[in-house]
Amino acid sequence: MGPKCWFILTLLMFQGLFISHSQAQEDFDFFYLVLQWPGAYCDTKRSCCYPTAGKPAADFGIHGLWPNYKDGSYPSNCNPDSEFDKSQITDLVSRLKKTWPTLACPSNEGFKFWEHEWEKHGTCSESVMDQHEYFENSLKLRDRANLLEALTNSGIKPDDKFYDLEKIREAIKDAIGFTPGIECNKDPERNSQLHQIYICVDTSGTEFIECPILPRERCPSRLQFAKF
Ligand code: 5GP
Ligand code: 5GP
């Protein structure tokens, strides 16, 4: 190989290094924004506890913003050194209490739930957002999805009645533009209930996208929308 060839080869190698580095920013493929229906979380054998601030609004709350891979697997607990730090989100706490309420027992303010979600999922998205952005983006996305309005506009209300799974899916798709994943759980009488909605979000954590893969579904064709 002549010196000219070596020069070009070296140039290409450096370019390759640079490109792969600048593109390897995210170590996941997309996010699931997972929203939970409090009526279904509470109406199970395990039951629930209201947070110290009192009974949350009868509306979808955040479960988490979860980095995921296209094959359905996901990273978790990516950085034990990046501890949850309350002081970074003081300006968001009142909104978190309203729309990311904890329903686990014993009753608490919510920091335990937020800490768990940050440590398990948030630490896997640090290549694109810091702790404040992780919580702020989650709040913004949940408000934008406005699921309860999407459903009630289609006549689907949390009144303990049964609704078609496909009507629920369509109502959400019409409102946000993308097909959601729907997860059910069972009440003590073994009725399947609308429990969680999965909406896919791009790697920047700001835009809804079509899901690269939907979570496994176990909902029957008709399911209950529990009162709360
Ligand atoms: P479960 O077994 O109740 O479905 O899930 C338990 C926990 O595993 C969830 O709260 C969540 O932290 C994690 N998890 C379950 N499924 C998924 C998934 O599809 N993607 C991600 N990123 N996390 C998941
Ligand atoms: P994941 O299922 O995301 O891994 O973890 C859920 C964890 O957060 C569980 O340990 C659960 O006890 C706790 N947690 C606290 N509040 C809530 C809540 O309102 N909903 C759910 N799904 N989990 C909660």
Q: Does pLDDT of 113 surpass 60?
A: yes
SS3 of 24, please? coil
Is pLDDT at 210 greater than 80 in this prediction?
A: yes
Q: What is the mean pLDDT of residues 31-36?
A: 98
Would the CB of 36 count as within 6 Å of ligand 2?
A: yes
How close is the Cα of 30 to the center of ligand 2, in Å?
21
- 216 CA distance to ligand 1 centroid (A)? 11
Encode burial over 58-87: b for 16+ CB neighbours within 10 A, e otherwise. Answer: ebbbbbbbbbbeeeeebbeebeeeeebeee
pLDDT attached to residue 24: 43
Which atom of ligand 1 lies at the shortest distance from residue 66's CA? Answer: 22
Counting from 1 in the atom list of ligand 1, the atom nearest the Cα of 75 is: 22
CA of 49 to the centre of ligand 2 (A): 12
Distance separating alpha carbons of residues 66 and 26, to the nearest angstrom: 13
Say if residue 22's pLDDT is above 50.
no
- The per-residue pLDDT for range 153-178, each reduced to its tens digit, is 999 999 999 999 999 999 999 999 99
Ligand 2 center to 102 CA (angstroms): 8
Task: Return the residue matching tokens 């699931």.
Answer: 32
For CA atoms 95, 100, 101, 102, the dihedral sign is negative
**pLDDT for 119-148, tens place per residue?**
999 999 999 999 999 999 999 999 999 999
What is the mean predicted confidence (pLDDT) over 187-203? Answer: 97
Q: Percentage of the chain surpassing pLDDT 90?
A: 86
Q: Give the model confidence (pLDDT) of 52-76 as tens digits.
A: 999 999 999 999 999 999 999 999 9
Q: What local confidence, expressed as pLDDT, does residue 46 receive?
A: 85
Q: Which ligand is located closest to the Cα atom of residue 35?
A: 2
Closest ligand by atom to 36 CA: 2
Mean pLDDT computed over every residue of the chain? 92
Interior angle at CA 196, CA 192 and CA 197, nearest 5: 120
Q: What one-character DSSP code corresponds to residue 73?
A: -
In the reported structure, the alpha carbon of residue 19 is separated from the centroid of ligand 1 by a whole-number distance in angstroms of: 33
142 conformational bin, left if phi > 0, alpha if psi -120 to 50, beta if neither? alpha
The span from the CA of 9 to the CA of 21, in Å, is: 18
Residue 36, pLDDT above cutoff 50: yes
Ligand 2 contact, 37 CB (< 6 A): no
- pLDDT at position 126, please? 97
Q: Which residues line ligand 1 (CB under 6 A)?
A: 32, 66, 68, 74, 120, 215
Q: State the pLDDT confidence band at 45, using cuts at 50, 70 and 90.
A: confident
Whole-number pLDDT of residue 147: 98
In the structure, what pLDDT confidence band is assigned to residue 6 with cuts at 50, 70 and 90? Answer: low
Q: Which residues form the catalytic set?
A: 63, 117, 121
| 116 in contact with ligand 2, CB cutoff 6 A | yes
Of ligand 2's listed atoms, the one at least distance from the Cα of 196 is 22
pLDDT tens digits along 92-112? 999 999 999 999 999 999 999
Ligand 1 atom closest to Cα of residue 117: 12
At 14, the pLDDT band (50, 70, 90 cuts) reads: low
